[in-house]
A and B are shown apart, each in its own frame.
Chain A
Amino acid sequence: MTNVAQEIAVGSQHAAEAQAATPGGDGKRRNVLFGLAVAWLVAVVGIVVLGWIFGESLPGLRDPAAINQDAINAGPSWRYPFGNASFGEDVFSQVVDGGRISLFVGFSVTAIGIGLGGAMGLFAGYYRGVIDGIVRLIINVMLSIPALLLVIFIVTIRGQSLANVILALSLLAIPALARIVRASTLQVADREFVKAAEVLGVKRASILAREVLPNVMPTLISFAFLTTGIIIVVEGTLSFLGLSVQPPTLTWGKIIAVGRAKLDVAPHVVAFPSLVIFLTVLSLNFVGDQLLKRFDIREASL
């Protein structure tokens, strides 16, 4: 499948979105929203990392598996801000604990995807020829299996462990990022300063590292945020279906999966982790989208 049409569609999507599609109104309001999104991300990552390091010695954090018979399915209170689960476990502590896996998977997969996928896309887009053909074939093959299906297939075949979840999700992120970087590289390689460097006889590897890469970087960084959001969602879905890391390790998706059986008596067990996932993904998407727009040179002028 030579995906010219797809590439045009994706390309015009990016161009058009960079042009006008960022929500949030005009400049000032958008800055406020951007600040809020960054603040939320910093807060979530900060609390999860602090909880990881200091554990229960932090005020408000308890053992996420501790049974509390006085507070079975109790709603949110000052002592337990997210309420209690079906054995009286503190949902807030569970969310902080589960965030480790969810965020760690999100960030590590994005790092792998950026590293390998970015390199693939960069080489394919700049050197063209055989490399480009092979990379495009890999991208097309990987992207013609629905993502969740592929991930579940790999995880069940290789066994449910953190390493395998990361491996499966990386196989998803690498071709997706390679495709975006390749498209971006093609655009940059067409610009005058690259042509000028070529005419001056600069080595191709040097052009790639010093002219092309810095200009692809902005797109790459924006998509790093968007990819992290998508990976967190896919990992959440896996946990929700009971196919991610083995119990008793908690993730955000798993808290929801356990809580959904008691939706009638304790909806807060599902609601709070859902809200945290939603706000985190929304912030990641918003920051990525904003960066894409701010880095877009076509909008700037001298």
Chain B
Amino acid sequence: MIAILVLIAFLGLCGWIAYAAGPKFALKRLGGALLVLVLVTFAVSTMLQFTNGDESTKQALEDLGVSRNSQPCVTALGTGASVENVNACVEDRGLDENLFVQYGKWTKQLVIDRDLGLAFYKNGEKLSDTMKQRLPRTAWLFLYSQLIALVLAVPLGIWSAYQAGRKGRGLPSWAMPAGVGLILLIGIFGGFRITTLFAIVVAAVALYSIFAGGRLADNNTNFLAFALLSIPVFVLGETFRYAFAVERNVYSLSGYQPWSSGAAEHFKSIWLPAIVLGLAATPVYLRLLRADMIQNLQQDFVSVAKAKGMSNTHILLRHVLRPSTVTLITVLGLNIAQLVNGAIVVEFIYDLDGMGSYLIAAFARREFFAVQTIVAIVAALFILTNTLIDVLYTAVDPRVKADADS
């Protein structure tokens, strides 16, 4: 079912490229994507050779009556594995053959037999079953975090770019540091919790920026985004876990609840990880959108629109935001990689049993075959999405095709 959908999507993609950009261009683009995909999966499959160990290990394995190259299988099955099991695994993986046969066997199993292999060799759990159970959690986490990031980043980015070229209210420059200092003094002597105090300071700076407007507002937004960008995801996650799950009992670390147990339960179980992942992605989008919009605001067509008497809102949303959206979508695609990194960390922190925490478990148990398959799938998704966006870009912006042709 899923395979058919993917196939339809792929055919649709081919047709769309051929239509939007001409067959020669389409061939070039798709061929490039396919080449990268093959090279990535081949590189991943080659990396397993490093688990083979040195000559003494190989000799020891031979003495035990199994193949010289069976180290990956022995690692996957554990030291208590029987000789037959190891031999079956070696046969299954083609470890005695050369690299290309191994790669061929693996891809044939993946693509033609649509068999993902085992999630855990030690207990024979199927990877497809694991994914059926765990993938929805990660998928919802991705979706919510991206929604949060966009809801925060797009309005803030537009507002920030708009304020950058405006005159503010001309408030004295010492007002903000003095205000923040006052709040800190009150907070420290009033015995506020540090997390509360921090939230109050951020809120006060935000309110002050909205009131003041102008370059100051732009600078403050930018600085907050810059600071947020410099916080590692695991620091952000631990801080939020402390503030909401340890210090206060707002979020309970009781594990994921699916939609079937009710929307309220579902959101209750996932909101904090989604916010953490969303906040990590927000500054990337915010800064990009702001910078891109400022560039667009300096174009001649903005002056023309202004001269025609269009309202600021209309110019911002229709003439400036529109071209910037394309850039934003490109970065959304590129950010998938960042999202996967974030998901591994966030799921680890919040004990959310998604694909990220499965990966950590698989690494800890040395289940390289499953990890290899997942890395390949993630890379394939990444390449596919970005090719799609690339083509979308071509359809929207003819300059890209002109660049590629030259």
Contacts and interface: CB of A to CB of B under 8 A. Distances in A.
Interface of A: 1-6, 8-9, 12-13, 15-17, 19-26, 137, 140-141, 143-150, 152-154, 156-158, 229, 233, 236-237, 240-241, 243, 253, 256, 260, 263-264, 267, 270, 274, 277-278, 281-282, 285-286, 289
Given A1-B390, A23-B223, A141 B36 contact: yes
A144 B36 contact: yes
| Contact residues on B (Cβ < 8 Å of other chain), bracket | 35 or more
B229 A1 contact: no
Contacts of A137: 35-36, 39
Give the secondary structure class of B's interface: helix
Given A154-B47, A236-B232, A6 B226 contact: no
Interface string B353-397: 000000110010010100100010011001100110110011000
B178 interface: no
26 contacts: A1-B390, A2-B32, A8-B393, A9-B330, A12-B291, A13-B292, A13-B331, A16-B288, A16-B294, A16-B295, A17-B287, A21-B287, A141-B43, A143-B337, A144-B36, A145-B382, A146-B382, A148-B344, A156-B363, A156-B366, A229-B230, A233-B232, A240-B234, A241-B348, A263-B238, A277-B232
Contacts of B368: 156-157
Nearest to B232: A233
Identify the 10 closest CB pairs spanning chains A and B, nearest first. A16-B291, A148-B341, A5-B393, A23-B223, A23-B222, A282-B230, A146-B340, A146-B337, A9-B330, A274-B235
Contacts of A2: 28-29, 32, 390, 404
A-side interface mostly: helix
Interface of B: 28-29, 32-33, 35-37, 39-40, 43-44, 47-48, 50-51, 164, 215-216, 219, 222-223, 225-227, 229-235, 238-239, 241-242, 246-247, 287-288, 290-292, 294-295, 327, 330-331, 334, 336-338, 340-341, 344-345, 348-349, 359-360, 363, 366, 368, 371, 375, 378-379, 382-383, 386-387, 389-390, 393-394, 400, 403-404
B292 A16 contact: yes
B47 A1 contact: no
A22 B235 CA distance: 24
B238 A256 contact: yes
Contacts of B242: 263, 267, 270
Nearest to B371: A153
A286 B223 CA distance: 10
Given A5-B393, A240-B234, A264-B246, A13 B288 contact: yes
A158 B43 CA distance: 15
A164 to B, nearest CB: 10
B390 A253 contact: no
Nearest to A157: B50
A240 B36 contact: no
A145 B375 contact: yes
B299 to A, nearest CB: 13
A15 B390 CA distance: 20
A144 B337 CA distance: 8
Given A153-B47, A260-B349, 7 more contacts: A4-B404, A17-B291, A22-B222, A145-B40, A145-B44, A282-B230, A285-B226
B340 A24 contact: no
A141 B400 contact: no
Nearest to A10: B334
Nearest to A145: B379
Contact of A145 (B33, B35, B378): B378
A19 B226 contact: no
Nearest to A289: B226
A256 B234 contact: yes
Contacts of B327: 9, 12-13
B400 to A, nearest CB: 5
